Every structure is written in C-alpha cells, then in structure tokens.
Structure 1
Amino acid sequence: MVYDDQGLTMEDEETGDMGGAIDEDPGYMSDDLDDDDMYHFIPMEPEPGEGEAGPGPSTHRNRRQDAIYRSLDDDDDARVTDEHPSAGRCIQMDKHLHDKYRQLFGHGSEDKDGDILMDGTEPNSYAPFASELDWRVAQWAIKDSPGHAAFDRLLDIPGVKEKLGLSYHNIRKLHQIVDSIPERAGEWKTKHLRFKDRPGEKFTIRHRNVIKAIQSLWGSPELADDIVYVPKKVFSDSSRENRIFSEMWTAQWWHVIQNLLPDGATVAPVIIATDKTQLTQFSGNKSAYPVYLTLGNIPKALRRKPSKHACILIAYLSVEKISRAQLTQQEHRARGQRLFHESMRIVLSPLIKAGKEGVEMTGGNGEVRRIHPILSCYVADYPEQCLVACSKNGTCPKCQTAAKELQEMEGHEPRTQKWTRDIIIDAKNTSNTLTQFHSKCMDREVSGSINTPFWTDFPFTDIHRSITPDVLHQLYQGVLKHLINWCRRAMTPAELDRRIRSLPPAYGVRHFKNGITALSQISGTERKNMAKILLGCLAGAIPQRGILAVKSILDFIYLAQYSTHDSITLGYMEDALNLWEANRVFFLETGIRGDFNIPKFHSLLHYIESIKMFGTTDNYNTELFEHLHIDFAKLGWRASNHRDEFPQMITWLSRREKLTSFEVYLSSSHYAQLEHPLPISQRLPISIAKFPNQNKSLSAIEVSHHAPGFERALKEHLNLFLTPRTSNQTAALYPLPFKKLDIYHQFKFHPSSLQDDEEESDIVKAIPISKTNPHGRFDTVIVLKGDAAEATGVAGTQVGRVKVIFCLPSKLDYGLGPMDAPPQWPQGPLAYVEWFSKFKASPGNHGMYSVKKTDSPGILPLVSIVPLTSIRQSCMLIPQYSLRPAVEEQSWTTDTVLDSASSFLVNNWQNMYAFQTIY
C-alpha cells in the first residue's frame, strides 16, 4: 500500500505510548422505518451487500388543510402516548447516593465493602470551604473574575479576611482549594499526533473521557427529575393515525435502536457538535476547535439553557497549521481532513465498546441502569458535514446525488456507511498512488482524502443519517441569503430599501433604517429579521409566480422551526417544497439564476426525514452550540495571558465547572431536607408597570395620544355598566366623575405558547408625542372580538391600533367628596383602540390578509375601549406599496406610515408565534 508514509501516529503526553488508527468494517442501519413495522435495522455486523439508508419525504394525502397542531386545554387534550415496554429498566437503587456526593466533596470515607463511614461529628456542609460566606466569596471570585490582582488587593485590606472569616488570603490559595474539588466530568488529557514523514511537526489534542462526561450528565442531581429513559410514541388521539414528533424520544430512531438492544437496556442518544471559532476579534488569528456533547435523554428546553449545564465540552481539537512545504494543495487539504478524523477517533473511541456492551450508570435520583451511549446526531455546518461524512465538497452528505443534479426534487438514493466505506476500500485496493486514490473516490462523490473515517466501528450508527439539518447556516445564512439577493435583482435595490426604510415599528422586528443593500457581514439574527419583512416588501413589485416562490421558502423556513410536528404540519412542509418546485422557474425565466444546483437548497429535501428520525430541529440546531462558544472558548481566552492559552483555558473552565458541580450538590442537599418544595410561581397573562408613567387630564390625553374620540368612547364604555343601562347618546352628555387618568406607555403580554417548554412574551407600546418624540408610537394589535376565535386563524379577531393604555380611578369626585368607584366597573387595565377593517374571508396569494383604515377625511375612525386581556398579540402592518409610487408615498417614514397609508398587509412573519397563530 502507498499510504503508510503519510500515516498519523499518536503520542500520549502522559505516558509516551504510541497508538495507531482503527480500520475495521463499520456497522450500519437499515432503511425500514415504517411506523407500523419499524424495528428492522440490519444487525451491527452485517453481511456484505446488505443495508440501505433512510427514507425520503413521504406524501401526506387526505390530510386536513384547515388544521395545524394546536396547544390544547387540559380537558381537550386527546393525545395518546405509548411507551416502549422493555426500555430503561432500573437495575437497582444506590442507597448511598447522597452520602457518596458528600464523600466526593470530602465529607466522608468509604470502607472496603463500599459503605460510607462518617466520623460521628456533624460535617461542615460547605467543606472544603470554611463556611457559607467563605463559599459565596469564592464563587464570586471565580465566576465573576474581578481580576487576580484586584482580589488580592481586596484581601490585603486590614480586617477583610478576618471579618469575613475566609480560609484563603489570596487568589492563589483560593485556586488551590478549588482545584482540590474532584472533576466529575473527567480529567483533561493531552495527546499529540504526528505524521510519520514529519516527526517534528506535532498537533495537540486536549480531551477528556467521553464516558465520564456522559456519566456526569447522567448523574447530575439538577437533571435527575427531567431525564427520560424510555422512547415513546405520541399520537394526537386514540386512533393512532396522526403521530406527533417533538423530543428525541418521540421520534423513530430511538425506537429502532431500542429493539436492537437487550431487554431493559437504556439508550443514551449522544449528540456531538463541532465548530471552529475565532477567538481574536479585530486582529490576530487565534482560534479554537471545541467538541461539545449532550444527550437526547435531556429535554431540549434544558439543553438550550446554558445555566442548566446540560452540554459539556469534551475536547479542543488541534488548531496548529499544517506546513505547506513540499505539499500540493490537494495533499495539504487531505492531511487536514485526516488529522480531523484521527483526532475525533481519539476523542470518541470509548463510545464503541460502551455502545455495544453498555455501562452501568447511576442517575441523580439513585437509580442504576445499564446505559448504551450511541452516537445519534452530529451537528455541524455544511463544510464540516462534508468533512465528517467523507462526502465530496459540493455534494449532499446524506444522499448520493451528484453536484450537477442537486436541483432534482426526486430520485435521491441515500448514502450509507457501507456504501462510503466500500468506495474508499475499493479505491485503496485498486490505486498505486495517492492521486489515483483521490480521483477514484471523487469520481464517485466521496472525499478522496480520508483512508479510515473515525466513525467506522461505531455500533448502531450511520453517520449519514446522523448528519442533522442546520437551521442557522442552511436556512438563514444559506437559502434565505440567496433568496434575498435574487429578490434584489428582481426589483431594484433602491426600491427595496425605500420600502424597508418606511416600515412601521413592531415588537420583535428590527428596523433597518438604511435598508439592507449596503449591509455586509450579516449575522444570523439580521437574516431572521429580513425574513420577517421580505414578502410584504415584495408584494406588488414582482409577478405572482415570484411571490409564490418566495412565500414557499419562507413557509418552509418557519415550519421547519416548529417545536412540535405531526403528519399535518410535515405535510405543510412538503406542500411548501412542491410550491417552490412549481414556481422557482420565475428566477430562471428572468435570468436571475441558471440552475438550482445549490447544496443548501437541496438540503431542504432531508428535513422531513430528520424530524421523523430525531425529533424537531430545535433538538439539534447549531445556534445552541455556537452560543456555548462564549462560555467554553471566548471567555476562557480572555482570561488567559494569550500565550500557550489552551492549558490556561482548560484550568479556567475546570474551576468554574467544579464550582458549578459543588453548587448543584449543595442545592440538591438542601432541597432534599425540605419536606415541601417551594411552589413555582406562574406568570400572569398580562404584566404592566407597578406605577403609571403619567397622570393626565382627558383633554391632554386626546391631544398627546392623537385620540380625539377618547373621552366620548370612555363615556360610552362606562355606560355599559350603568344600572339601568342608559343610551349612549345620553351618557355622552354626562360629565365623567373624574378629570384625570393614570396612563401607561406599554404593557407586556404573555400569550399561551404553542410550545410546552417555553413562554412567549410580547410588548405593546402607546407612547404619546413629546419634544423628543414628535410622532409618538402607537402599536397595532390583534384583538379578540366575539366567541368565534380559535387557537389558530383570524376568525373572531380584528386589527386595532392601541392609542391609550390606562386604568380607571378607584376614587371618584361627584362634587360631594371622594367616593368609591362602582364595583361593576372594570378593575383591570384598559386600552383605547382605533379599529381597522375586518379580515376578509381569505388572504391574498402571498398568504397575508389586507386591512384598511376605517376613517376618511372629516370622519373619525371607529374606536372602542377594550380590556387588555382581550388583546391576543401585537401585529405588524406593512403598507401596500404602489408599483410606481407617487410623491406622497415616497415621503412615508417609519414614524408616519401608519397615519399616511390607507391600506395594509398583516405581516404573519413577524415572529414564530404570530406565524403559528395566523397561518
């Protein structure tokens, strides 16, 4: 063979042992994932020629087009859950769990039989710290990082450490105490890799035992009550025809794997993420290559919260540059890819034996189970997906489609590990040079740089299936980026910017005051804000086919982010793809594009399959792991002296993790001593400031809030509570028994979320005019009007503009002294609303409803006083622009457009909640 001279050798920094690469036949999975007969994965060691990869999107016929998965009231929830009958069996209970935690932190010892021995005295629960105050100061010094010199100067002040009772006199002594706390996630090790033909060039990998990291998550008291051990099938009702996908344990993959394991075994779906990140901001080229791990057993809502510590950093891969001396560009690239795979083999190889045989682990609740940690999902951006899956750059890492055929919507044969390995082995056996090997692999859409992929021996894993959708980079920074650029060409950039500049303000939507044409280095957040306003700004500017093409992509992007899916919503995603296929020809006919052979557009075809396999996309979105760069890379870098930084970063991170582990131990210990846990407070649907912003006269309110009909509307509203009821005309003549009202400038609205694990919030503002704000701000909202309103759709609602937010006084003045307000008057906050026209029966071809103002020259708009609780959500109105704008339209600004324009589109892309409500 011709590859030995460029092989990688491994040297353990602690022992100096040399190791080699593993190169054996892989295990893989079958493609039969039918819901009724879904346990047919090919065995772990298949015979040659067996095994195919997973299904493509299926067709959902005869589904209800008027339905979407809704959040249900407790009385209406007809969902049925079927748990796997033999999964997650508890082997035994660890009776000494809490005592072992105490021993871990030096509060006891263990005899030869494993029993915990205490010395008979009451231990200091804060040891190794002297007291709670000693511990709290240490926690502040490590986590808030006031600076070593500053901390030493503080303790040097006479009497400070004595009066606080501190057990340390400087930061060095504090670090020694913290370093004595055991590392629950495993000690860090350093290993070096060298190419055999360049022994003087070494590449450093810093990692810890992946099994220890999994055990630390599994045994965390903080997560003990939330970890799930059993896969479940969830259906919308007892007919079991409509399956619901959300968490990873509700999807197909876990069920299939469970049936390949012995009865009682527990699956630990391992989610791995790698993403190289820049450490320096403005100058320098320092970078880090972290590897993150989390488990699918942990609910996704907890995985997304860094404060829950449900994700662990398990490695820093090498970032040393490979010398280009005497190497062609192809050879240099090949060495970089080979280095990555050998590094990941070192980091993840313990999963091979543990996945096959299982490992006994104790949960944070003391339950002992036999755990099989199995690589389920690999989270990465597109270049790294190709690197991990050994696919040719420019092709799909999940299917065999050639680069020039990516635009085809059907007929994509899936890749499998066996297919990829067979191509690599065949190329190795029939090649005499590296160039021949590279060419033969590339001709078959496989990377020609990697001899032995790291995932070769992983049990029950197919790396191509494990590659998951990437909402951030594929949808927003890929598909949407292309789409916006094409739309700029379909209409002039100047016209698009003019429309964007004049959009009214709305909660959750960024205002691009200079348009978007001149922006560079656009972030994912900015792309998301562009998506919210794009279609409304295109309406009337490009032909219907172009509108439908853009709408189909936006539909898909938003649907792909649902936190819960079922066969109906997955059908909507399929409909969006079909609509795109039918209308994308617009960009071809106008010469904007020549083809759609773009990998990120092609990736849309695999979203439905991945959601069925692993649950909704928020289980494995790259945004979560990119956020972890702050804590696990950037802050550690800043805390170092920027010279030989990685050992310092690891030490800094370890100390913080040890304090976090100690904090969890303390909280779980104290929680266990409570007979009745403290109740969890619930958020009210409406929140408003404790004190009003202003107390104004009625006449001043009408002027400063542009509300000329406010006083009359208030009289008519209060007349409804008179006994006997008086006609509105008579009531309008009576003077109100108060002259001033408490005015609020905003309120927060917390609607019932469609997500079980999160709460949505909304803000509505009614800011009066002032010298600094000559136009004020008066937001538009959707208000419930009648009993016809449902969880989704616009029936029973109407758009209004909130002009005044106020509360009625509790004391009135009828001229005879203060009197209590009538008890039948509304007790909560109210809003003065100017109405827009009612919704039409159906939206336009762009999917947005149109509304008009109800006023005309000389005639006041229709108005009402409504309780804040009847407001459903804020909404954004986009003016209906003309194809050839008049001078008046060209003068619209974000502050005046709601007053100047007469007809609007209701933007149902304002936020995810709005989309799910109006769609």
Structure 2
Amino acid sequence: MDDLIDDDDAEEEINNSNGKMDDSNEEMDDSNEEMYDDSNEEMDDSNKEIDDSNEEMNDSDDFSDEMEGLNDLNDDDSDTEIDSVDSEDFHGAKFEDAVNETLDDSVLQWPNETYREFAKICVDYDLSNQAVDSFINFFNKNANLNKSPLPNNSREMHKFMNSIVSPNLDFKKKHIIDFEGISYNLHYRPIIKTIKALLQKPDITNNFILKFEEKRQANTNSRIFSEQYNCNWWQQTESQLKIGSRVLSIILYSDATLCDSLGNIPSWQRNKKNAKVLLGYMPILQSKNQATRNSDNFQKLICKVIKRCWSILLRPIMKLDELELNIKNVQITFTPRISVFLADMLEANAITCTYKSANCKMPCPSCIVHIEDLNNMKISKGNITLRTPNSMASVIQNKKAKENLNVYEAVLPDRMHHLDLGLFKYMLEYTQDLLIEQCGNYAIEEFNNRLAAIPKFTGLKIFNNGITSVQTADEYRMIIKVIISIVDGLFDDNDSRIIERRSKNKNPYISSTRLTSVYFFFVHMYIMSRNEEFSEEDLIKFEDLITIWSCEFVEIFSRFSPSELKLPKLHSWSFTTETFETLHKYYVKIPYRKSNKKEVMNQILNKVRQKALIESTTKSVKQKVGQLSSKLYDIRFSAFENHLEIFQQLEILNPLQLEGMENLLDSLNKLKDDILLDKVDSFIRLYKSATIKSADIIHADPSYNKVPWFSDVAIVMDTTNATNYTTDQGMCFGKVLLLGEIFSKSSHNTAKFIFAMVKWYDYCEQDDNEDSEIYGCPRLTLLKEYDVVPLESIEQAVHIIPRFHKTNQFLMNRNIF
C-alpha cells in the first residue's frame, strides 16, 4: 500500500528518490536507470545517426539479448489467464444495453433525506465511527422523536452504503503477479462502466459535445482552438467514421491512481472533479533488496506489470470498433479514441517505453533529440525527428503498432509536474544561488521577509517561514501568483556591498530588472498556458513567449546547474494540460490516512465508493449574494458626534478601522440626497465580511485569525465620479475599511442602505523610469480620500501588493488565476 502513497504525490512529489541529485536527475528516478527501452533503440540498423547512442546504451552487447525478456510484453493478443479480459468488461457497449440503460435507481434509495444528508457529512469529513456513534446517541436523546431518521450506529450506516448495488461504481480485482512472496493485484473498474458513470451525471450530458465545431474570431475570422472538438485531428477522425458514428475522445491519466475523462466535455466542466472518474489502482512492484531493484530483470518485470495492467484496462475499447451510449435518453453510436495520456515525465517514459536515466542520450518521450540540445530552445522544428509508431516499430514485437493510437503524440505533460514542481521550482532554487553569489545572505532574508508580508487574499497562502517552507505543488503555484512583487527591486544594483562582490566575481552580473523580467516572462507564459482558448495568432505568440523565457532562463541560471539546464522538461515544455494529481490525494492519501492500516486496500475502495454514492445524490446549493456576516457593533447614528468616546468604549485599536470610523460620518453626509436618514432613530451596524455579486467574500476584519484583513476591491464608478480618478475599464480600486448597513428601529430593523467604506487608490503618475503599468500590473498609490459606496457597486475582490522598495506604491496583481 505504501507504494500508492509515495508515488508522485501532489503534496510530496519531489521526494528522496527523484529529489535533489543533479538537476537533470530531478525529474527522473535513479532506480530506473536500466529501464527497458532507450529512445536510442527505436530505429533499425539503417539509421546511422543514432548508432553511437545505441552502443552506449548496450555497452556493445547484443541488443537482442536485452530485448529477449520483453518479448511477451508486446504479445497483445495473448490469451493467458492474467491478460484475458472478462466478458463483463465489455458489458454496456451494445445497442440493447443503451436502450435499456437508466440511472441506477438503487443509488437513490436512501431511507430518508435526513439519513442521506447525515451520511454525506460523515463521509465528506471522514468522521470516525466513535464520533458518528456519539452524535447519533446525542441526537436520539434530545430530538424527542418516536422514530429516529438516523441509522442506529456507524456500523449499520456503512453496511447500508456498502450494500447499495451500483455496478458502475464497483471495483474488480485482477491478479497480476506474485513477487517475493507478495501478490500484486490490479483493482479497477471496467472502462466502459466508468464512461457510463460519467454520462449518468446531468451536468456532464447537458454539456456533452457530439461533433466537430469550428470556432473563429468574429473580427479577424482566425481559427480558435479551445477544445479538442475544435481541432483538426477531430475533424479528420470524424470524416473517416461510419455515417452516424461520433468520436468519443478518451483522456487517461496514469499514476498509482488511474483516472479518465472525455474530450467531448468542455474544459470548463472537465476541469471539475466530478468530470473525472477513477479507473483503478495500479500495483507498483517493490523489492527490499537494492541489488534486485537495480537489476535488468526487475526493471523488465516492472514493464511486464505495467503492460498487463494497461492491457486489461484498455482491451474493451481496443477490441471494440463502436460503443452504444445513452446521451439524454438518445442512443448514439460512438467510435472510441484515446486522445490524451496525461503523465509526468517518469510515467511518460514508461508509457512510451523510453529510457528514463539521466545518462540517456535521447530521453524525450516525444521526439529524438540529443541530450546536448535539451537546453537549445532555438532549435528549429525541421531539425527535430518526432517519435511515431513507424519509427519505433523495430522495438515493437512483430511490429504490432496499434492503429489510431500514436502514443508518442498522445502523451502530454501535466502542468503540475512540468512547471510547478519542475521548471519553476528549479528557477527558484537557482535564484537563491544567484542572490547569495551577487548579494549575500541579506538578499535571501529580504526575499523571505517579502514573502511573509504579502497581503491576504482569498485562496492565497502566506508563507511566514519563508521559501524553505514551500514544498507542495499548490504552494509553488501560490508563489507564482506573487513572485513578481517579491523580486521587483529586490536588490539595488548600486549597493556598495553588491559593487564590491561584483568586482571579485568573474561571472556575468544579472541586474535586478533582468531578474524580475525573467520571472515576468515565466508568469506571462504560465498564465497563457492556462488559457481556455487559443487563436492562431495566440499560438504563435505563445511559442515566441516560450522561446524568450527559456533562452533567458538558460542564459541566467545555467551556470548553477551541473547539467547546464539540459533538462527533458525544458526541452519538451510547450502546451500542457490540467493535472489530475489532486485526485491521487483524494483517492489515495486521505483514505489511507483515515484507515486503520489493516486490509488497507479494501478500506480505500469502500471509502471511494461511498464518496461516489454520496456525490451522485448531492444537491447543489446556491450561495447567497450581497449578504453581510459576522456582526461587530451596533452604533446609534447620533453617537458619532462623540466618536472618540465611542471608539474607546468599543476598544477599536486597529488603525485602518479607526481611519474608517473617523471618516464615516463625513462620507455618509455626501450621500444625504440619496439616502434619507433620521439621525435620532437610525443605527449603523458594522460587520466583518460580506459576499458580493461575483461571489467573492470581502473583509473588513481587525482580527481574522488574529491577523487584520481589509480587502482591496474593484468598484464600478458612475460617470460623475469616474472623472476624478484614472479608471481601469470603468473600475476604480479601493481598500475596504468598513462594511455595514443603516437601519432604524421604527422600520423593524430593515436595512435602508448596505455599504462599504473605502479608501481610494489611484494610478501613479508616469515618470521617466516607469510607466503607469509595469510587468502587466497597474502601478497605484493610496490616497487619503474616502467614500461610502453601495455594496452592490463592488465588482470583485482584487489583490494589491506593496512595492516593498518604494514608498506608497502598489501593484494591482493581475497574476491571480
């Protein structure tokens, strides 16, 4: 079970096995050094250009001996007990299955709605049996009901959920191999049933796309590529199908957890957790003996396990030409195609049978490029030979390449491993080396101080302990959002300490501006890679941006890399896909930690199944908008005439809150023509937070988890007030000091006016050195001007960060994604 927990986890992905060796080893596992197939071995003897790399791979031995142990791996048509597929795995593909198919009613057969909601709470929060039993006893004791709607105890609840018959959610167990006294099994759900499980969800079928859609820009008529079904390959595949058949695009994710989704689902929907489905758990072969782990036979055995697992999982869609599926009560014929294999670098090497070692001469799983050119980002496409089934046929036994599946083209890197935990992580590490070389430790200390001083923003983590506390992919992603403000003016090129070091250092000096620029190019490129759609012009721009950043990256940081940044990740970086890695945490780590470590696999399968049952009957809840929450004070309007006394009584100590209270009365007086106030009868009620129309939650809280949080917001200005400030497409920026409502006792406490008290920002004046926008972010200054605005005029929360080396200057962070 531990092999599932430790394999490329989203929270602990860069572990000791593929951690900080040489940086070229950082994305490859040392233990896989003798992995089955090098990219140097895919061509036959007539391909003279790669003979040298083949010789180094085989140490002048006969390569046929090395391949002899892999013959059985490529016998896709073998019908052994292990590789054979149950007829049940093909169930659901026929026309009569689609005609008779309905949503499994047993999923909905809960004893009552209270029972279902209670079970959902228990499963969602992974409550222990003891906690569940205690609550049931408490409820039954105090509810005074003749018959309790809850189960008698936790055991009865789990037994009930496990008894619910739901074929599309159940797992099968297939024995794969026995090794060193341990039996390794594949736990999986037939792929046809996982597809049907997706199609049972109304929000999936309501947005399901059946045919190619060409998309063009209205003004330029340029092609736009936003979804798989907008692309040329879909159109070409569709034209080759039988009349009436549709493309079913299957997206696979390979890790210890195996997941799939469908390219027919729009990306905005597909990137949600409920649009992905767990396909199974792949066993990972382990040995306690170091010599065994490093042997050729062990590595070949790993390949055999992987091959057998994928053979079992994919046999139904590889054998069947067509599937009959029910989409909104209509039977439709589909032709399945595997369009994408999502994988990190190690998994991509395994899927494409490419050698994994850092010593490999051609380690890229998609093309044949020499290791010496991995950091050459100006290499022309004409000089790159792509891997194809034909070019790799000499290592495919009997040359049985599958039609309609170019695995080298289908394998795509996931952004999390490629960038968040890959290239960006390396860049941060080399930046620390650069700062120490050019500036000394004080620059590292300033870097960490800025990181800890980043203003709060919803969903953004603050790292009070500096860069050394950043470990997970999600945390590196947080750094990407604020890194420009951290490195902006981090050191002064004219500082005497830097000038002294510079005179002694023979390496090229990197200015503060240039360091910030390379991060700006990276962030711009990263955000563009997340675009939901690309025009033809965008594709060219994105490719140029990759080249600009990567060239700067290599030129600035290659001297800190033992391999001079000859990294497969750098070479293969282009378009990436959203990662499924969080599902590995959801489907493995959390259930594992909640188990009692006895018969762990069964406990994990039960927990995953229970969560799927709960989700299939969960009702969506709309969030209330325009709602104030967490009341602070009620203050009579007339009491503001003696505001100092009021502030002392209420113990208002936060300077921003005091500033708001002191200017509230004057600001309200500006609105006397818009709101009628009876100063004797009116009260002001202040709150800590509010939900605005964008569904953002904004704060005016002097002690949010013991830390002040006063949100920055974008406000829609009317035409009269907009002339007083420089606007960003009709919006101005302000810092919220107070949130509240005005009401009167005579109107039964009904709010007359819900407001936010703001202190305004304005654009900095353009000077000789800097424009009004730098690094794509507006350059702002905070004014001593205040207004009360209707809560409904606030468009959204924004993130505004101080320029730490400037007085009263800020950047409106446009890098929040």
Q: Structure 2-normalised TM-score?
A: 0.71
Aligned pairs (5 A) from 1:171-182: 171=155, 175=159, 178-179=162-163, 181-182=165-166
Deviation by residue 1:623-663 (Cα, 9 ceiling, x = unmatched)? xx3332345334554565534533454455456656766x5
* CA–CA separation in structure 1 for the residues paired with 2:151 and 2:747: 63
CA drift at 1:377: 1.0
For 2:32, the equivalent position in structure 1 comes to none
Kept after mapping to 2: 8 A contact 1:313/1:632: no
- The equivalent residue for 2:781 is 852
1:837 to 754, 762, 776: 762
How far did 1:834 drift?
Answer: 2.1
Deviations 1:486-524 (A, max 9, x none): 3223333122123333333344432222322x326x111
- Deviations along 1:198-234, one digit per CA (max 9) or x if unpaired, are 8988643333432333234345567433332223122
The structural deviation recorded for 1:551 is 0.6
Partner in structure 2 of residue 234 of structure 1: 215
- Distance in 1, matches of 2:703 and 2:292, equals 71
Q: Contact (CA 8 Å) 2:133, 2:154: kept in 1 or not? A: yes
Matches within 5 A, 1:477-876: 477-491=421-435, 492-516=443-467, 518-519=468-469, 522-540=471-489, 541=491, 542-567=511-536, 569-581=538-550, 583-584=552-553, 587=556, 595-604=564-573, 606-607=574-575, 617=577, 621-622=578-579, 625-637=580-592, 642-650=597-605, 653-654=608-609, 657=612, 663=617, 686-689=626-629, 693-695=633-635, 697-698=639-640, 699=643, 705-707=657-659, 710-711=663-664, 713-714=666-667, 716-721=669-674, 740-751=683-694, 761-768=695-702, 776-787=708-719, 794-810=728-744, 827-840=752-765, 842-843=771-772, 845-854=774-783, 861-876=784-799
Describe how 1:373-452 pairs up with structure 2 within 5 A: 373-393=336-356, 394=358, 395-409=363-377, 410-412=379-381, 413=384, 415-424=386-395
Q: Which residue of 2 aligns with 1:67?
A: none
CA gap 1:452/1:785 in 2 versus in 1, 3 angstroms: farther
Question: 1:165 & 1:715 partners in 2: Cα distance?
Answer: 52
Aligned residue for 1:290?
A: 257
Aligned residue runs from structure 1 range 100-111, under 5 A = none
Cα drift, residue 375 of structure 1: 0.9
Equivalent residue of 1:745, what SS? Answer: strand
How far, CA to CA, are the matches of 1:226 and 1:396 in structure 2? Answer: 36
Paired with 1:831 and 1:382, the residues of 2 have a C-alpha distance of 49
Tell whether the 8 Å contact from 1:549 to 1:584 is kept in structure 2 after alignment: yes
Q: Percent identity?
A: 18
Partner residue of 2:231 out of 244, 248, 251: 251
Q: 1:187 deviation in Å?
A: 5.6
Larger fraction in helix? 2
CA contact (8 A) 1:685 1:869 kept: no
Q: Aligned partners of 2:135 and 2:663: how far apart in 1?
A: 60
Task: Give the drift of 1:136.
Answer: 7.8
Aligned partner of residue 247 in structure 2, secondary structure: strand
**CA deviation map 1:715-767 (0-9, x unaligned):** 541245499xxxxxxxxxx996677522122223343xxxxxxxxx4333223
- The answer to whether the 8 A contact 1:9-1:20 is kept is no
Deviations 1:558-588 (A, max 9, x none): 2212234434544553343243256446615
Q: Distance in 2 between matches of 1:768 and 1:170?
A: 42
Q: Which amino acid aligns with 1:298?
A: I
Question: 8 Å contact 2:186–2:282 — kept in the other structure?
Answer: yes
Cα distance, 1:142–1:866 mapped onto 2, change above 3 Å: closer
AA of the residue aligned to 1:422: A
Conserved in 2, the CA contact under 8 Å of 1:546 and 1:584?
no
Which of 184, 196, 201 is the matching residue for 1:215?
A: 196
Q: In structure 1, how many angstroms separate the alpha carbons of the residues matched to 2:187 and 2:658? A: 64
The residue aligned with 2:495 is none
Residue 378 (structure 1) shift: 1.0
Q: Who is 1:51 aligned against?
A: none
Deviates more, 1:553-562 or 1:505-514: 505-514
Matched AA of 2:167:
E
What CA distance in whole angstroms lies between the structure 2 residues aligned with 1:504 and 1:327? 48
Amino acid at match of 1:253: W
Tell me which residue corresponds to 1:674. Answer: none
| 2: CA distance, partners of 1:317 / 1:503 | 43
Q: Is the 8 A contact 1:500 1:512 kept in 2?
A: yes
With over 3 angstroms needed to count, the CA separation of the structure-2 counterparts of 1:339 and 1:799, relative to structure 1, is same
Cα distance between partner residues in 1 of 2:737 and 2:159: 58
C-alpha deviation, 1:143, in angstroms: 7.9
Structure 1 counterpart of 2:172? 188
Name the SS for the 2:324 alignment partner.
strand
Give the AA of the match of 2:518: A
Q: Tell me, which stretches of 5 or more residues in structure 1 are unaligned?
A: 22-89, 106-124, 276-288, 426-450, 611-616, 668-679, 724-733, 752-760, 812-817, 855-860, 883-900, 913-919
Q: 1:593 to 1:782 in 2, by over 3 A?
A: farther
Shift of 1:527: 0.9
Offset at residue 780 of structure 1 (A): 2.9
The whole-number CA distance in structure 1 between the counterparts of 2:713 and 2:595 is 50
**Aligned AA for 1:183?**
P
Q: Aligned-residue CA RMSD in angstroms?
A: 4.8
Shift of residue 243, structure 1, vs aligned partner: 3.0
**Secondary structure of the corresponding residue to residue 596 of structure 1:** coil
Looking at structure 2, the residues matched to 645 and 10 of structure 1 have their Cα atoms a distance apart, in angstroms, of 33
TM-score normalised to the size of structure 1? 0.63
Report the counterpart of residue 91 of structure 2 in structure 1. none
Per the alignment, residue 267 of structure 1 pairs with 247
Compute the displacement of 1:314 (Å).
Answer: 3.3
Whether the 8 Å CA contact 1:503–1:511 is kept in 2: the answer is: yes
Number of residue pairs the alignment of both structures matches? 682
* CA deviations over 1:451-495 (Å, ceiling 9, x no partner): 699xx6543221122122312111111121122223223333122
AA aligned opposite 1:401: V
- The whole-number CA distance in structure 2 between the counterparts of 1:170 and 1:549 is 56
SS in 2 for 1:273: strand
2:414 paired residue number = 470
Q: Deviation of residue 172 (structure 1)?
A: 7.8
Q: Does 1:906 align with 2:797?
A: no
1:745 partner amino acid: K
Question: Is the Cα contact below 8 Å between 1:270 and 1:293 reproduced in 2?
Answer: yes
**Residue 534 (structure 1) shift:** 1.5
Q: What amino acid does structure 2 have at the position aligned with 1:361? A: L
Corresponding residue to 2:81 among 8, 11, 17 = 17
Question: Residues 819 and 490 from structure 1, CA distance in 2 versus in 1: closer, same or farther, beyond 3 angstroms?
Answer: same
Cα deviation digits, residues 419-470 of structure 1 (max 9, x gap): 5523525xxxxxxxxxxxxxxxxxxxxxxxxx699xx654322112212231
CA gap of 1:655–1:804, structure 2 versus 1, over 3 A, is: closer
Write the distance in 1 (CA, Å) between the matches of 2:629 and 2:116: 37
Structure 2 Cα separation of the partners of residues 132 and 722 of structure 1: 46
How far off its partner does 1:786 sit?
5.0
Match of residue 277, structure 2, among 311, 322, 328: 311
Query: How far 1:552 sits from its partner (Å)?
Result: 0.2
In the alignment, which residue of structure 2 is the partner of 1:349?
315
